[in-house]
């Protein structure tokens, strides 16, 4: 992020550019990482509807993965995934990183 002087930015914290949250990578805030099991997934999209960070990635109406650059690890997707399916599991970020 380019850091500008107080004379160069809009007053009052106004953000003039629409949709620029995309350039703010909130993925680094994560403590737990959602791990998706493509085999189990039935593409009901409950996780996609509920994710507060628009981090469930779709292609042609099907779930294809998770945007880890923005996913904050809230766990809502795993909670909403139907119990019988359980295609999403929350794993400690440190464990997930170690497993790689």
Q: Which residue, among 37, 98, 42, has the nearest Cα to 66 in the 3D structure? A: 37
Report the candidate in 10, 22, 17 with the shortest Cα–Cα distance to residue 70: 22
Residue 13 touches which member of other proteins, ligand SF4, none, C-beta under 5-8 Å by kind: other proteins
CB of 3 to other proteins, least distance (A): 6
Q: Which stretch binds ligand SF4 (CB under 6 A): 3-11, 12-20, 82-90, 91-99?
A: 82-90
Instruction: Give contact residues for other proteins (rule: CB under 8 A).
Output: 1, 3-6, 9-16, 18
């Amino acid at each position: 992020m380019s850091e500008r002087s107080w004379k160069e930015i809009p007053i009052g914290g106004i953000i003039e550019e629409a949709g620029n949250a995309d350039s703010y990578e909130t993925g680094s805030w994560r403590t737990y990482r959602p791990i998706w099991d493509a085999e189990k997934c039935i593409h009901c999209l409950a996780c996609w509807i509920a994710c507060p960070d628009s981090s469930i990635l779709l292609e042609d109406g099907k779930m294809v993965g998770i945007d880890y650059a923005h996913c904050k690890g809230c766990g809502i997707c795993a909670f909403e995934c139907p119990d019988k399916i359980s295609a999403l599991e929350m794993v400690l970020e440190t464990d997930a990183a170690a497993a790689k």
